[in-house]
Amino acid sequence: MSKFLLKNGSGSLCCKGCGRQDNKLNTYDWLADIPGNAEEQDMVEVQFKNTRKGYYKNSNRLPLEKGDIVAVEASPGHDIGTVTLTGRLVPLQMKKANIKPDAEIRRVYRKAKPVDMEKYEEAKSREHNTMIRSRQIAADLGLQMKIGDVEYQGDGNKAIFYYIADERVDFRQLIKVLAEAFRVRIEMKQIGARQEAGRIGGIGPCGRELCCATWMTNFVSVSTSAARYQDISLNPQKLAGQCAKLKCCLNYEVDAYVECQKRLPSKELTLETLNGTYYYFKADILKGTITYSTDKSFLANEATITAKRAFEIINMNRRGEKPEKLEDIFRQDNARPKDLLEQESLTRFDKSKNSKNKKKKKAEAAPIEKSGNKPATQPVKEAQADKPKENRTRDNQPKEKNRPPQPKSNKNKDDVTIKAAEKQETAGESTEEKTQRPVRNNRNRNNRRPKNNNRNQDKEKNNSGQNTTGASEQGNTNHEE
């Protein structure tokens, strides 16, 4: 027994009640930590292969706990099983299994010894081959049956054959052939499809282990009316379980749906309004709302109202009155809480995938567009390079609208003096010189190479220096005059 100490040091937690979860019909013993629980009852629950269980009497008062392997009485010989429950819960389980008080109860011999375990492992190793060969024998005899599983007794003296058959089968000849073939005592047990699924086990569409393999022992018949009450589509692929029968869980909530459906109006009643006639389309039984349509065959002009509002309109129609609208104008709908985390959305994981796919497509399309524009622009640039600078026309120049705005440069004192000198120079020139001066093209000037720009700037600086000296001399002569 392993113990887990609490953080505050006030006691310990015992895991006696826990067992291996790979066993079918596992039971949690929530009374295992109570002192003296195992000594109050001498009955013990022992589990064998898959879902087969038995109840035995601990007449020798052995200190048994959950998980111990014991040898129990059988006919003939003995069998090997695992203790799954002790103490006060055993009588409750016996009552649940419909075991009568006057039934013969066998006893526990001892805890399993190494010799017992060797015989047990040897017998278990023959089960699969025995099942395959027995199926061939049944097919040769022409019997309409399916042998689903074979279980050997712990000492190997007896074998239990579990079979499924739709009709009554006369297997007397089969027993004789099997006894001669395997040299053991033969026992035949008929099981249903649900019991076979429980013995095999598996995972259901809900993501949990099958109910027939974990806790269900009594199988109640399930009909399609249970699906109709819950407004479930009658799709056999969705309604059937792994046993190819209707799911047992269809019966779990039928009573709740039947009670809620009594509070809704009949599907055959129509609602008359000034706008037209509304027919029943669908209903949310648990929420208590009904959706009506102006057409019987398909959804048109849908209107969803509560069951209370539907009964009000039905009573008005019986009195010969018709409301203006199907919805109640004065009724204020309570704000439905928003699912901010999108925990109720079935497509919450698909959205992230779609966004990632879109980003990938955009990233793949971008280099393709760039590579497609390159060959169209290269010949234009080559043609411009072949032409001389003076012959370049405005057609080859980029438009000013598409040009990015140029940042404003900081003005220096030298630039200010140069511009002032240029203004004085233009003011002193004659009109003839202005006409003879060629018109400046701002676009061509801006698109010149940086070498020519530097040469022009140097010339302008030299000319501005001469103009400034000339302007100062003219000012002095004027002052003297």
Check residues 273 and 460 and name the one with the higher pLDDT.
Answer: 273
Question: Which of 131-135, 219-223, 409-413 is predicted most confidently?
Answer: 131-135
Is beta strand 158-164 parallel, antiparallel or unpaired with respect to 185-190?
Answer: parallel
Beta bridge partners of 189: 162
pLDDT tens profile 71-102: 999 988 899 999 999 988 999 999 888 888 78
Check residues 465 and 55 and name the one with the higher pLDDT.
Answer: 55
- The confidence score (pLDDT) of residue 28 equals 81
Check residues 22 and 238 and name the one with the higher pLDDT.
Answer: 238
With 0.85 as the threshold, say if the pTM is over it.
no
Is pLDDT above 90 for 179? Answer: yes
Is pLDDT above 50 for 68? Answer: yes
Tell me how far CA of residue 59 lies from CA of 73, 111, 394, in angstroms: 12, 13, 114
- Using pLDDT thresholds of 50, 70 and 90, give the confidence band for residue 44: very high
For a pLDDT cut of 90, what percent of the chain falls above it? 38
pLDDT tens profile 217-276: 888 889 999 999 998 888 888 899 999 899 999 999 999 999 999 999 999 999 999 988
Residues 213 and 26: their CA atoms lie apart, in Å, by: 9
Q: What is the mean pLDDT of residues 296-310?
A: 90
- Using pLDDT thresholds of 50, 70 and 90, give the confidence band for residue 430: very low
Is beta strand 289-293 parallel, antiparallel or unpaired with respect to 277-284?
Answer: antiparallel
Mean pLDDT of the chain: 76
pLDDT tens profile 357-407: 666 777 776 655 555 544 444 444 444 444 444 444 444 444 444 455 554
